[in-house]
Each structure stands twice: as structure tokens, then as C-alpha cells.
Amino acid sequence: MVNGEITRALGKIACPCGLVGVKYGEKHDVTTVAWFTQESSNPPQVMVALHPDRYVLELLDAAGEFVLTVLADDQENIAAFCGSRSGRNVDKVKELGIATEPAAVTATPRIKDALANLECKVADRFTSGDHVIVTGRVVAAAVNEGKKPLVYYEHKITRWPG
């Protein structure tokens, strides 16, 4: 068990808040993530930590690709909703009316009006602690300038202070 001081200190790590989305066949799921980052420049790659029980991980394993969406600070409701419900039980995109657009390379659509979308092909997958680490080679991307990131800080979703 992790002690309270360790938990409090880990909460001081500011993380971007985003979504991992996967479309496989007729199923499209998105789940909220805060533990992700770039992990390579050449080739351009990102990594994301997902709990092994997440439905999106099942779809990701089948599809071999995903879209990592960096949410903008006005998309807090999307982060809260998609992080608290399972895609096994609800179509989150439909339920929230999340606007999507076709991706350039992947079958998984991009989330409109997000800060950024990174289309990825799975490069690797391994278990670390209580999460599964998925690395993805970025094959296409889109950015919306003029937006600020939504962040995960002190164990809650919040707007960027700047």
C-alpha cells in the first residue's frame, strides 16, 4: 500500500488530460487518460498507461492503432464523462454527442476541437505495475492553435492556470 505522503507528492505531477480512442469494426470507444507523454523523436512515438480492465484496451489490441487526443481546457465534461463510464456499457461518443472527424491514416476518428490529435500505430505493449504501457508510432497529427490544455493535477481534472 502506498502511504499518503507518496500519493500527495505524486499528485503534484501535472499531467496533460486526454483521450485514447479506438475504432474497431462498428465499435468506437474513448477513455480518459492522464498518464501519457512523448517517448521518442525518431521515430516520433508516444506512450500511454491504461488500466488493464479498460474496454478501450481490448479494442486497441484488436485494431493495432489508436488516436491520442490532447484535450483543450474547455473539454472538461468530455474528460469527466469518458473517465467514469465503460465503453462496454455506453457509447460515449454518441451519448455525449462528441464531434469527430475522419483521421488521415487510422480508422479511428479524431476528436474535433481538441488541442491536438495524434494518430498512432501500436509499436509495443507491456505491463508495468498496475497498468499496461502502450507505445504508439505517430503516423499523422492535427493541432488546433489558440487553445490551452486540460490538465490532471492533485488527482483531479482542472483548467490550465496560465
21 within some domain: yes
Is 6 contained in some domain? Answer: no
Q: Is the pLDDT of residue 146 over 90?
A: no
Q: Which contacts (CB < 8 Å, 24+ apart) does range 103-106 have?
A: 103/67, 103/140, 104/140, 104/142, 105/139, 105/140, 106/23, 106/65, 106/66, 106/67, 106/139, 106/140
- In degrees and rounded to multiples of 5, residue 62 shows phi and psi of -75, -40
Separation of alpha carbons 52 and 58, rounded Å = 9
Residues 70-124 have pLDDT tens digits of 999 999 999 998 888 888 888 889 988 999 999 999 999 999 999 999 999 999 9
Nearest to 37 by CA among 60, 59, 11, 68: 68
Domain hosting 96: range is 16-151
Give the total number of structural domains in the chain.
1
**What share of the chain has pLDDT > 90, as a percent?**
75
Position 93 in a domain: yes
Supply the pTM of this predicted model: 0.94
* Residue 21 burial (10 A CB sphere; 0-12, 13-18, 19+): buried
pLDDT one-digit tens code per residue, 24-46: 999 999 999 999 999 999 999 99
> According to the model, what pLDDT value does residue 112 have?
94
Residue 85 lies in a domain: yes
Residue with cell 454518441: 94
Residue in this structure with the C-alpha cell 470507444, named with its chain if needed: 29
Report the CATH number that the domain containing residue 72 is assigned in CATH: 2.30.110.10
CA distance 105 to 123: 16
d(C-alpha 115, C-alpha 85), whole Å: 23
